[in-house]
Amino acid sequence: MKLLRFGEAGHEHPGVLDAQGRVRDLSAHVDDIAGDVLSVEGLARLRALDLSTLPVIDSTARLGACVGRIGKFVCIGLNYRDHAAESGMSIPTEPVVFNKWTSAVCGPNDDVIKPRGSDRLDWEVELGVVIGKAGTYIDEAAALDHVAGYCVVHDVSERSFQFDRGGTWDKGKGCDTFGPIGPWLVTADEVPDIAAARIWLEVDGERHQDGTTADMIFTVPQIIAHLSQFMSLQPGDVISTGTPAGVGLGLNPPRYLQAGNEIRLGIEGLGEQRQRVVAAR
């Protein structure tokens, strides 16, 4: 299934994409694409529905983040060897972990706001993993049993805030609109080979990132097992798993996003996002 959320920001409704690419309304069956709806049992109930009986939504409806009521938005840094190299950093010996605040979450095609004082606004396309089964101290061999599905995440980053303002990376990672998620959550049963998916990003039609998830240093099962040593993972938690080379920081000379830039990014089988950069008011 391709699960999604549609409607005005803050008032999204649950939906599903049918075989013809039309959005169908799930509101009569679930209140949101969140929490226990993402469990094995919750997803089984949705699979049992006859989608042809559900209302069709106008194709112009705004898409929200494909997961609602996200509890944790955990990110992994430097998880592609080529990106670590372009950043001038050593290959990590275990996953680098940071967080995005849930207030950063927005729809896949919403504007990205360039914050006040920003001068190094950067892009990072990433594979998102959505947890469907709670767990702690999860064995790597069983880790994928805890995955509800996968999605595209844009890890928008302000490098000056991240590196030059002291403290942790989180300052440059969690500004409002720095976490577009979607367009949809593709359930794990429809993603047979997420370990070798094409991942890419363009700015104003110029492709800067073009890689594959096969180049990740730490795999999805390794990441889940690692994180579960330090926190419980809950249904609806989102893990963003790192970005390949080609970010603005790594270009020669570096290049950063400005108001008016158009961004397009996607992952094979998971859809694509489109954003416009606007200046903060």
Instruction: State the pTM of this model.
Output: 0.97
Give per-residue pLDDT as tens, 79-136. 998 888 888 878 899 999 999 999 999 999 999 999 999 999 999 999 999 999 999 9
- Fold observed for domain 67-279: Fumarylacetoacetate hydrolase; domain 2 (3.90.850)
Report percent pLDDT > 70 for the chain. Answer: 100
Q: What is the pLDDT of residue 130?
A: 98
Average pLDDT over residues 230-252: 96
User: Residues near 5 by Cβ (< 8 Å), separated by ≥ 6?
Assistant: 12, 13, 14, 15, 32, 33, 63, 64, 65, 66, 67, 68, 182
Poorest-pLDDT segment among 45-54, 88-97, 103-112, 214-223: 88-97
Q: What is the pLDDT of residue 83?
A: 85
At 165, is the pLDDT very low, low, confident or very high (cuts 50, 70, 90)? confident
Average pLDDT over residues 245-271: 97
Alpha-carbon distance of 107 to 263, in angstroms, equals: 14
Q: What is the pLDDT of residue 136?
A: 98
Average pLDDT over residues 186-212: 95
| Averaged pLDDT of the chain | 96
Q: What is the pLDDT of residue 97?
A: 96
Q: What is the pLDDT of residue 26?
A: 98
Q: Where are the domains of the chain?
A: 67-279
Average pLDDT over residues 26-32: 98
Beta-carbon neighbour count of residue 200 at 10 Å? Answer: 19
Report percent pLDDT > 90 for the chain. Answer: 93
Q: What is the pLDDT of residue 31?
A: 97
Q: What is the pLDDT of residue 209?
A: 97
Q: What is the pLDDT of residue 229?
A: 98
Q: Nearest Cα to 179, choosing from 91, 260, 235, 107? A: 107
Beta-carbon neighbour count of residue 115 at 10 Å? Answer: 16
Specify the amino acid at residue 257. L
At 251, is the pLDDT very low, low, confident or very high (cuts 50, 70, 90)? very high
Average pLDDT over residues 25-33: 98
Query: 60: exposed, middle or buried (C-beta count within 10 Å: 0-12, 13-18, 19+)?
Result: exposed
Q: What is the pLDDT of residue 15?
A: 98
The number of CA neighbours under 13 Å toward the Cβ of 167 is: 10
Give residue for tokens 């995955």. Answer: 147
Q: Of 91 and 152, which is predicted with more confidence?
A: 152
β-pair partners for 267: 199, 271
